[in-house]
Structure 1
Amino acid sequence: MATMKDIARIAGVSLSTVSHVVNRSRFVSEEITQRVQKVIDELHYKPSLVARSLKVKETNTIGMIVTASNNPFFAEVVHHVERYCERHNYHLILVNTEANHQSLQKHLERLLLKQVDGLLLMCAEPQDINVEFITEIHLPMVVIDWWQQPLKADIIHENSELGGYLATKALIDAGYTDIAVITGESSKPLTVNRLQGYKRAISEYHLQYRPEWIIESHFHFEGGIEATQQLLALSKRPRAIFAMSDSIAIGVYQALWQAGLQIPQDIAVIGYDNIELAQYLSPPLSTIHQPKARLAKNAVEQLVKRIRDPKIPLNIVQLTPELVKRSSF
């Protein structure tokens, strides 16, 4: 197996020059770089990633923690994260805690043992973790969407208050005035923000505010079913439902079908996230598009910047959601 010493001898350069060409750790003239690269190609030389990581203290590996279980939104974000990591020549190690809060710290410790260069954190469920442990992690970190504990990290998220407003306003513009909302857990900032958007639209259009039409649930299918059944049991039913995630909306569809009701003839529905499945429901689901690809792109690019220069100021990026109108209202 060829070594860097072999390459240096054949190319007629020093060993350190070969190292700088391979690791791109210092400027080397174009002529010498091409000469060294030609020998590398001829010898089919493959640098040892382990040896390189020990010398330059980098592994070109990013760790990602996702605390989600069955919400398709997170799977789609992860897909885009993998794509952008590949573009930047980083390997992604993905850990899904499956909403098991007790395993989060264990998974973080394992990622640190893998000597990852940075961490992407995407939280779906509240986590019980030692705050001192996570604040003592001295690695570049980027939070996608939100994270339970305050961190010294960049944040990439979407304007969820605006998204809640756009969803409610779309129903109002379509002529609906009796609008219920099924939320996620109230402990989550995005739930609070989307509910603020809902309330702002209701107030702005001078509609009657009904507390019984605000049902706190969970961001998954079963939550949508149970919350819709509660709404249908009311003496005065709403004529439209804003589901704070497409997963909730799928549960709404199921509960309405079980009750023999049609969408949108009996009750209109709008979701949130614009997961791929939304367009294939019957009828296709109107929803608020979360820019998943841009969330992933911004998160990966920001993390790579911080890996290369840890001293850059912390950055908070807020992306803008958009209405996707289909046939559910």
Structure 2
Amino acid sequence: MGFAFKTSEKSSFCQKKVTAFFKKGFSHTHSIAMVTSIWIPAAVLLVFAVFAEINNAAFLKVVNISCKDNQPKSQTTAVNVTRIVGGTWAKRGAYPYQAAIFVKNEFSCGGTLLDSGLHVLTAAHCLLPLKREAGLLTVYFRTTVLKPLDANHIERKVTKFVIHPDYNGTSFENDLGVITLSEPVMEIRPARLEAVVSANKSYVGKEATVIGWGRTRQVLHPAVSSGAASNNLRQVNVTILDTNDCSILYYNNYVLTDGKRICASTFFGKSICQGDSGGPLLIDGVQVGINSAAAGCADPRFPALFIRVGPYVDWIKTMMIGSPSNSFLPAGEVVLDLDRK
């Protein structure tokens, strides 16, 4: 068990609270290994990670306890829309299909250009608040910077958008939507989507990439701004996790094992946070997921949740019926070779 104390109070008081929590919460665990380290900057928050083997299964649990109160703070698993935390700047031209979706001239969400050249795939919760007012949206391509946009950027207005009919705003199930642009974007390469036939294959343990504009750091106190927003497109590598383990981390509050979600995380302070949903989760350059939601901000307790693309390819195609084909990629699906290392 690793402890990181962020407090100006006496460490002995914190240690007593941790000991009490440990006895109460882990009295029935199979085995637990402990390593202790203490560091004390000026803040009133204790964050510690518990790596435990429970019922012979590897399990990660992270708990926040404040040393300010006599009782631990109650925990929540409120799910937020997401932004990149940490990571590195994306190179110009590396992700030409990445879309920047603006609402009333302010950046709102990410998305990806589909092979029709006329449609953008994004998250449903990015579109739901607009109440069908497509005229509020503007979509930009071929830019890695938001303000000012790259000189050679492409701008498109939006004529309509469609939200998946089974979208659930509480559980974030079926969190995807398709935007129809005012005219096709034929100058750039669209995203390659995971094929339907790949939808039953497992990505667990594979490295993936998330891209988006957003906060570059997390903060630990809710009263403080949740980090500076990035003006540059960023990328971060994450690891795909087993959805059964992910469900446990979310206390089984969300349906994650139906094959329509992907869980991903990194335990090194680089992941996703509030604000930049709708962008892609990529494996070997193929979009396998849509950035949907996460609890916290680069918080290893709660991995990021992505909508898996494969199960929805047929629905996405239906939304594009009658659209011209983009000459870059007539077939927008790719079957991933999961055995390739």
TM, length-normalised to structure 2:
0.26
Greater relative CO (CA pairs within 8 A, separation 6+):
2
Structure with a larger share of its residues in helix:
1
Name the TM-score, length of structure 1 as normaliser: 0.27
Higher strand content, 1 or 2: 2
